Amino acid sequence: MQKDTLVFNLIRQELERQRRGIELIASENFTSLQVMQAMGNVMTNKYAEGYPGRRYYGGCEIVDQTEQLAIDRLKQIFNIEYANVQPHSGAQANAALMLAILQPGDAILGLDLSMGGHLTHGAAVNFSGKLYQPHFYGVTKEEGLIDYNMLEAQARKVKPKLIICGASAYSRDIDYARIRKVADEVGAFVMADIAHPAGLIAKGLLGNPFEHCHFVTSTTHKTLRGPRGGVIMMGKDFENPFGLKDVKGNVRMMSNLIDMAVFPGTQGGPLEHVIAAKAVAFGEILTDEFTQYAKQVQLNAQAMAKAFVAKNYQIISGGTDNHLMLIDLRNKNISGKKAEQVLGMADITANKNMVPFDDKSAFVTSGIRFGVAAVTTRGCKEEHMNFIVDAIDTVLMNADNQAIIEQTKKSVNDWMLQFPLYPELG
């Protein structure tokens, strides 16, 4: 067959784009070469509906071993009893978990999207807001911290079946114990979606959600630095207290109900090639090298936040505990949309983001979100954060000056040469 030069040329161009720029999208990272290699393998050819040892197809004896390895390693990382590594993405993980424990029309309570939450936590445009009855809590106007009083009041008022914590744009740790307390009071389950800070939680650098939450979901491609994908986990398996039944009317252990909600509930055949790559990434997370990486991510985020504050940028909540920060640009007289656009012109990639109590639409926004997981993988340390913040500030303060943006782009490209990306790929 003729090589598809069109597509492979585009892949090459994407590699060059990733190499020359400063990647600050908080949900992105660079996997190791072996994680990528594990993803592009013959397991993409294999159907394996079911779970290791209980499949609906023959020939699964090898993929059974990789999937079991991924499960075992993930359980070891978080010291937990249950893991399902089949969800194709974070959104799929959340959909499956909700399918396992909710009925259509059940009330759910999550962090508002415009306050840092995620689409799958009840947004009107998402399955979670359409199938279930969504309610929200927010952050406080003064401090930008989760408004636990509001969360508790809402929980008592709407009596949700599920309280969701975790966020896409929240830079502080979460008080899981406090959320569990009100959940027990109103008879709700608690799910933590740790898609963003999972890599830091894995190394004990943030509070442990497994001690307090019934369920934990995550993506695998952000701070966990694995292939794109999702997982569902439980610290302890349990016989469900609300008598949730499977389709045959049997009360089952939660692990059975979750497994069934992933397959056949929401997915068909698992992506065994991606699961192989998850297994490799989980193996990497278990090393001391990853511990150093996770610590460096946190140090870099704090150094970056400090550098922004020194330039009078308004970080929501004043700083960060994890790998990201959300900046309100209103005092800098530039919208999130324009900031994203001009930074892109200087090869600095970030995304516009609504800030709490934003007066601009989600397409324009007053804010921008920065994360350091990717630049830390490139090799950046605290001392490099000043260069990055200086470059960002130069671009934002000269957003209509083509010459300065072009000059900054050149210095960004030169600067990134000291942090090689996939040198093995030539």
List contacts with ligand PLP (CB under 6 A).
27, 89-91, 118, 120, 166-168, 193, 195-196, 219, 230
**Looking at beta carbons, which residue is closest to ligand PLP?**
90
Per the annotation, the verdict on 225 as an active-site residue is: no
Question: Do the annotations mark residue 363 as ligand-binding?
Answer: yes
d(CA 209, CA 176): 6
3-class secondary structure, 118: coil
Nearest alpha carbon to residue 233 among 27, 409, 87, 20: 87
Sign of CA dihedral 55, 58, 62, 63: negative
Q: Tell me if 385 sits within 8 A of 39, measured CB to CB.
A: no
Whichever of 191 and 380 has its CB closer to ligand PLP, that residue is: 191
Out of 20, 28, 46, 47, which one is annotated catalytic? 47
Question: Do the annotations mark residue 119 as ligand-binding?
Answer: yes
Per the annotation, the verdict on 47 as an active-site residue is: yes
Whichever of 144 and 227 has its CB closer to ligand PLP, that residue is: 227
**Least separation, in Å, of the C-beta of 231 and ligand PLP?**
11
**Least separation, in Å, of the C-beta of 184 and ligand PLP?**
24
Per the annotation, the verdict on 176 as an active-site residue is: no
Nearest alpha carbon to residue 28 among 219, 254, 280, 290: 219
**Least separation, in Å, of the C-beta of 339 and ligand PLP?**
19
Question: Do the annotations mark residue 78 as ligand-binding?
Answer: no
Question: Do the annotations mark residue 384 as ligand-binding?
Answer: no
Helix spans in 26-147 (H): 33-39, 61-78, 90-101, 127-131
Out of 172, 222, 338, 352, which one is annotated catalytic? 222
3-class secondary structure, 71: helix
Nearest alpha carbon to residue 343 among 286, 299, 391, 386: 391
Task: Record the tokens describing residue 278, joined without a space.
Answer: 């998850």
Out of 49, 64, 72, 175, which one is annotated catalytic? 49
Whichever of 93 and 375 has its CB closer to ligand PLP, that residue is: 93
Question: Do the annotations mark residue 117 as ligand-binding?
Answer: yes
Question: Do the annotations mark residue 127 as ligand-binding?
Answer: no
Cβ atoms < 10 Å from Cβ of 200? 23
Question: Do the annotations mark residue 361 as ligand-binding?
Answer: yes
Whichever of 224 and 385 has its CB closer to ligand PLP, that residue is: 224
**Least separation, in Å, of the C-beta of 274 and ligand PLP?**
11
Out of 66, 120, 219, 408, which one is annotated catalytic? 219
CB hemisphere CA count around 260 (13 angstroms): 15
Nearest alpha carbon to residue 244 among 267, 261, 262: 261
**Least separation, in Å, of the C-beta of 99 and ligand PLP?**
15
CB under 8 Å to 111, separation ≥6 — which residues? 117, 118, 121, 136, 137, 138, 139, 146, 164, 165, 166, 167, 170
Per the annotation, the verdict on 236 as an active-site residue is: no
Q: Tell me if 327 sits within 8 A of 312, measured CB to CB.
A: no
The one-letter amino acid at 102: L
d(CA 112, CA 139): 9
**Least separation, in Å, of the C-beta of 406 and ligand PLP?**
31
Whichever of 25 and 404 has its CB closer to ligand PLP, that residue is: 25
Whichever of 117 and 303 has its CB closer to ligand PLP, that residue is: 117
Per the annotation, the verdict on 49 as an active-site residue is: yes
Q: Which residues are annotated as a binding site for (6S)-5,6,7,8-tetrahydrofolate?
A: 113, 117-119, 361-363
Active-site annotation, residues: 47, 49, 193, 219, 222, 228
Residue ranges for the known binding site are 113, 117-119, 361-363
